[in-house]
Amino acid sequence: MSDATADPRYRRKPPKRPLRLSWADERVRGIVWQIVVVGIVGSIIWWLWSNTVHNLEVRRIATGFGFLQREAGLPIAESVIRYDPTDTYLRALTVGVLNTLKVSLIGIVLATILGTLIGIARLSKNYLVAKLAAFYVEVIRDLPLLLQLLFWYTIMQGFPGPRQALNPVEGVFLSNRGLKFPALVWESAHTAALLAFLAGIVLTWLYARAARARQMADGQPRKVWPAAVALLIGLPLLVWQVMGAPWQIDWPALRGFNFQGGMTMSPEYAALLIGLVTYTAGFIAEVVRAGILSVNQGQWEAAQALGLRHGQVLRLIVMPQALRVIIPPMTSNYLNLTKNSSLAVAIGYQDIVSIANTTLNQTGQAIEGIAIIMMVYLTISLSISLFMNWYNAKIALVER
């Protein structure tokens, strides 16, 4: 490519024509068109804006974000951080954002796992497995997500009340109040163990990288798993043991009409998570399938000729190549899942849309409320696409 322009004759810029003030000149037409379009769009926006300002004056609505510091007084059923109805709107909205992130991030992880499994299952040599996966994908993608959410929520509400709760395993209760399960009483030793585990992940990664570098140097494969087990399991256990090994379980128990203790997964959250995961998995499955199919058949055959097993072929040869095709559409599926989590408002899970909607109903600050929703989602969307673009650039094929 570059040698075509190496010739100095091609590199010379075309001579500049003087701008003629005539309709026949393309540049003049371009400028006029731009002025016209910008003028039309600008005047529409100005018209809407002036109407809005006038309407706000007539209705005596004060604009601005001052209301964020007022007491919210809106109850929130589930929250990641401590929240009380006497807290400010700002804190209520923060709870909403965290609830959105809670369902989106867990949903993305689960949908990726389920979607990848179904996508691979659809390519299975086993007729029954392949057809079942195809049936799942067809049906789940042809039904509106909102309908599916309402369906799951109806099922959740159909479970018996707390007194007749299903008790499949000791300490786990399934009722129309949600899923109750035992929880660990959290102490500082657990935080320390968690930090040790995170440190273990980093150390394992560094160790694996060093082992690979040495394998590259002398061709001898080195075992990574003993070190990984020691770092990932041994290190946290050691820290926990040193700090006194606290181990107290909070069991849920029926007291009166409801459960006390333990952890809860609310029916709203469960319905939303199940709906989002099963729906998005249908789309991810198709992306994964297309990605695997895009890898040349010769790659499979060459890998088999080298004596690799089916799973190894998939993991070592096909998937790294398929990922290049998979990542860009995967990004948009992640973005869709995050945006679709806004449907929570229909089944009463209090995400950012639900809380901002209540806020704007209570305060009358419609413009600010919607602006907050949009800003939150734009920020989340932008973060996910930046991360995925970075990952995509990392795995992209490096060509000359």
Partner 1 sequence: MSDITANTSVPRSAPRREAPVATTGALAWLRANLFSGWLSTAVTLALGYLIVRAVMGLVDWAFINAIWSVPIAPNGQAQTQACRELQGSGACWAVVTEKHRFMLFGTYPYEQHWRPALVCVLFVGLYVVSAMRRFWNWTLVPIWMGTLTVIGILMWGGVFGLPYVPQERWGGLPITLILATFGLAFAFPLSILVALGRRSNLPAIKVLCVLYVELIRGVPLISLLFMASVMFPLFLPEGMNIDKLLRAQIAFILFAGAYLAEVVRAGLQGLPKGQYEAADAMGLSYWQKTGLIILPQALRMVIPPLVNTFIGFFKDTSLVLIIGIFDLLTAGKTAIVEPAWQGFGVEVYVFVGLIYLVFCFAMSKYSAGLEADLNKHRRR
Binding site for partner 1 (CB under 8 A): 30, 33-34, 37-38, 41, 48, 51-52, 54-56, 58, 125-129, 132, 138-139, 141-147, 150-151, 154-155, 157-158, 339-340, 342-343, 345-346, 353, 357, 360, 366-367, 369-370, 373-374, 377-378, 381-382
Taking the least distance from each CB to partner 1, the nearer of 94 and 333 is: 333
CA 172, CA 174: separation in Å to the nearest integer? 7
CA 205, CA 225: separation in Å to the nearest integer? 11
Taking the least distance from each CB to partner 1, the nearer of 132 and 172 is: 132
CA 282, CA 278: separation in Å to the nearest integer? 7
Smallest separation, CB 111 to partner 1 (Å): 17
Pairing of strands 253-255, 173-175: unpaired
CA 297, CA 86: separation in Å to the nearest integer? 63
CA 231, CA 205: separation in Å to the nearest integer? 10
Smallest separation, CB 281 to partner 1 (Å): 16
Taking the least distance from each CB to partner 1, the nearer of 105 and 192 is: 105
| E strand or H helix that includes residue 269 | helix 267-293
Alpha helix positions (H), 343-365: 344-347, 352-363
Taking the least distance from each CB to partner 1, the nearer of 27 and 212 is: 27
Taking the least distance from each CB to partner 1, the nearer of 242 and 375 is: 375
CA 274, CA 278: separation in Å to the nearest integer? 6
Smallest separation, CB 10 to partner 1 (Å): 17
Smallest separation, CB 67 to partner 1 (Å): 15
Smallest separation, CB 267 to partner 1 (Å): 13
Name the CA dihedral angle for 173, 147, 284, 274, rounded to a multiple of 10 degrees: -10
Taking the least distance from each CB to partner 1, the nearer of 129 and 189 is: 129
Q: Are 63 and 367 in contact (CB under 8 A)?
A: yes
Smallest separation, CB 252 to partner 1 (Å): 25
Per the listing, tokens 């509106």 go with: 144
